[in-house]
Amino acid sequence: MNKLTKWTGVVAAVLLAATSFSLAGCGGGNNDKNSVKKYTVDFETNGGSEIASQQVEEGGKATKPEDPTKTDYVFSGWCKDEALETVYDFETETVTSDTTIYASWASSADTSIANFYWNYEGAPEEVYSSKAFGNNSRIADPGAPERDGFYFGGWYSEDGSAAYSSMKKYTGDQNFYAKWQQIFTFEAEKTQLTGLIGDYELGLATEAGAKLGYNFSGSANGAMLIKSHSSASGGYYVSGLFYRGGYLQFEIDSDKAVEGATLRLIASCEYADISLTSNTYKIEVNGTKLKFDDFSLGSGAAMSTDPGPRGGFKEIFIGNISLKEGENVIRLTVNNAQTPAGDAGTVDAASPAVDCIKVYADAALTMTEYQNS
């Protein structure tokens, strides 16, 4: 073999190796960087009917299977451990490794019945589910029923004083009743938009008594704050309250006093992402300030000059509230002077674009509506 042939062979080998490496790094082989790790969840039924294993992505949740069956025994739930001491909660448990879940049983010779009632007039049937269970053992979770326009708040004793728990052990027959709260949606564009900011504070020259809908640009017409969008619940949302003190006021009448109602805010933002706290965005019910978890709104993208909800509208749990019989006032107030990051000075405060609020309550609620057109 001459020197030229020898070196030609070496160069070819090097090029072949480089090409193989390039293909492997650019999709020519398996690229594990973007693959999602999955784990196996096995169901040990302890002598009961077989339950198929599940493949669950890391950090995901296993799906609760149909209850297994076993001759002369009643199923009393799934447990995390082989000793059957800790209940497995499919709603909260996340899978981070291969997992085995264990079936718990009680002898049918010593059983009781738990009935779970729909608990409303016109229900599909009186009883939603019945569960047999061994005395001094847990009752398998019957799941959550669904009812249009209502929120399911859990299973309770007939007088509402005791809540069902899949973690608790029971003896003797039990009756539980669904607790329902009607979901009321109140649109932001039908509120009294704002008005307690004096003209001198904004430096505006406006007509005397024009108190609806001041926005940062100086318009005193409430309609200027109302924008249309297909993703908004009523087709419209309210924005433009980009100054400290701007507020929305929902005036809601209740036919009775209510404890334990739930308040949720449906909102987004415009131009730039924002983060708010219960201090920088003040929410009051009948003059009482609510404490709620910090929340962020936006899409994660760079600031844009295009208006419109960034990342769509987000539902935010504010907290449990009390309502009195008669008129109640829920006020959302911008309580900061934060210019969103990257803003060119067109706004004076971080303010959400509000679609609506939702109130879950066991009462009849109506809102005083204003024509902001």
User: Domain 111-180 belongs to what architecture?
Assistant: Sandwich (2.60)
pLDDT confidence of residue 228: 84
The CATH number that domain 36-109 falls under is: 2.60.40.4270
Taking the C-alpha atoms of residue 249 and residue 228, their distance in angstroms, rounded to an integer, is: 20
pLDDT attached to residue 132: 83
pLDDT at position 178 is 96
For residue 65, CA distances in Å to 42, 104, 132, 138, 167 come to 11, 14, 17, 18, 18
pLDDT at 340: 60
Enter the tokens of residue 325. Answer: 């019989």
Mean pLDDT by runs of 10 across the 373 residues of the chain is: 44 43 41 77 96 95 93 88 88 94 86 94 93 86 92 93 91 95 93 49 36 40 66 87 82 95 95 92 97 94 79 95 97 84 59 95 92 54
pLDDT of residue 257: 97
CATH T-level topology, domain 185-367: Jelly Rolls (2.60.120)
The answer to whether the 36-109 and 111-180 domains have the same CATH topology is: yes
Domain boundaries, the chain: 36-109, 111-180, 185-367
- Residues near 153 by beta carbon (within 8 Å), at least 6 away in sequence: 178, 179, 180, 181, 360
Which pLDDT score is estimated for 186? 96
**pLDDT score for 341:** 54
What is the three-state SS of the chain? CCHHHHHHHHHHHHHHHHHHHHHHHCCCCCCHHHCCCEEEEEEECCCCCCCCCEEEECCCCCCCCCCCCECCEEEEEEECCCCCCCECCCCCCCCCCCEEEEEEEEEHHHEEEEEEECCCCCCCCCEEEEEEEECCEECCCCCCCCCCCEEEEEEECCCCCCECCCCCEECCCEEEEEEEEEEEEEEHHHCECCCCCCHHHHCCCCCCCCCCCCCCCCCCCHHHHEEECCCCCCCEEECCCCCCCCEEEEEEEECCCEEEEEEEEEEECCCCCEEECCCCEEEEECCEECCCCCEEECCCCCCCCCCCCCCCCEEEEEEEEEECCEEEEEEEEECCCCCCCCCCCCCCCCCCEEEEEEEEECCCEEECCCCCC
